[in-house]
Amino acid sequence: MKTILRTEDLTKTYRIGKVDVPALRGVDIDIKSGEFVAVMGPSGCGKSTLLHLLGGLLSPTTGKIIIDNEDLSKVSDAQRTDIRRRKIGFVFQRFNLFPTLSAEGNLKLAERIHSKNGGSAEKRREVLRLLKIEDKLNHKPLELSGGEQQRVALARAVINDPAIILADEPTGNLDSENSEIVLEMFRELNKRLGQTIIMITHNPEAAEHCNRIITMRDGVVVDD
């Protein structure tokens, strides 16, 4: 399998007043295409900062981030935004769906952001069918359960065939039953579509659904 994402001596330091606070202290990871990876660690270990760096939402202090042969650390903000739009799908703890749009409407919006021509109705139905919510096509978020909303958010993340899905505590707002359903949907996307997924989680049971676990502490990787 080819490497889809690589970091080299990645650091991030925040300036708080007159004090430098290091969040990442030199992180080297290598993710292969098609892997389903959990990143775990206690609060404050740097895992969320790492996710935001990998997604191009932050720029590193030093080091490299290579995504699908493009170096995020050497580009302008506009270029970083373009890479993020083309290469990365996000799933957050809060579903972040547009409340006035149906499930299909949320997917259409994601398609238009990715491409002016949008996508196809058949592709939208295919993704919703894979996530077992094809019957919710015309439902708005408030007409869906939390688990169904997260599956729509997952469909939105994958609809434009990103190189990587980055998921930030995707089951954090769900009960145990819906958490299990959503995690099984991640596994299905990984298995059926070969989708590369990196998931931040503090939950060992969620991490067990992945085929690789990276553990962080104090801004460094301590186990992989």
pLDDT digits (tens, 9 = 90+) for 159-203: 888 889 999 988 888 888 888 888 988 898 898 888 999 999 988
pLDDT greater than 80 at residue 122: no
Q: Is 70 left (phi over 0), alpha (psi -120 to 50) or beta?
A: beta
Q: Give the contacts of 79 (CB within 8 A, at least 6 positions apart).
A: none
Q: Are 11 and 24 in contact (CB under 8 A)?
A: yes
Q: Do residues 34 and 9 touch, judged by C-beta distance below 8 A?
A: no
Give the pairing of strands 220-223 and 212-217.
antiparallel
Does the global pTM surpass 0.75? yes
Q: Reduced to 3 states, what is the DSSP secondary structure of residue 58?
A: coil
Residue 113 has pLDDT above 80, yes or no: no
* Residue 117 banded pLDDT, cuts 50, 70, 90: low
Domain ranges of the chain: 3-223
Q: What is the CATH number of domain 3-223?
A: 3.40.50.300
Please state, as a whole number, how many other Cβ atoms lie within 10 Å of the Cβ of residue 170.
Answer: 28
DSSP symbol at 59? -
Tell me the average pLDDT of the chain. 88
pLDDT for position 161: 84
pLDDT of residue 150: 85
- The answer to whether residue 46 scores a pLDDT higher than 70 is yes
Q: What is the percent of the chain with per-residue pLDDT over 70, rounded to a whole number?
A: 97
Query: Of the given ranges (4-8, 83-87, 96-100, 128-132), which has the lowest mean pLDDT?
Result: 128-132
Query: What is each CA distance from 91 to 94, 143, 155, 182, in whole angstroms?
Result: 8, 20, 9, 11
Could you tell me the two tokens for 137?
């096509």
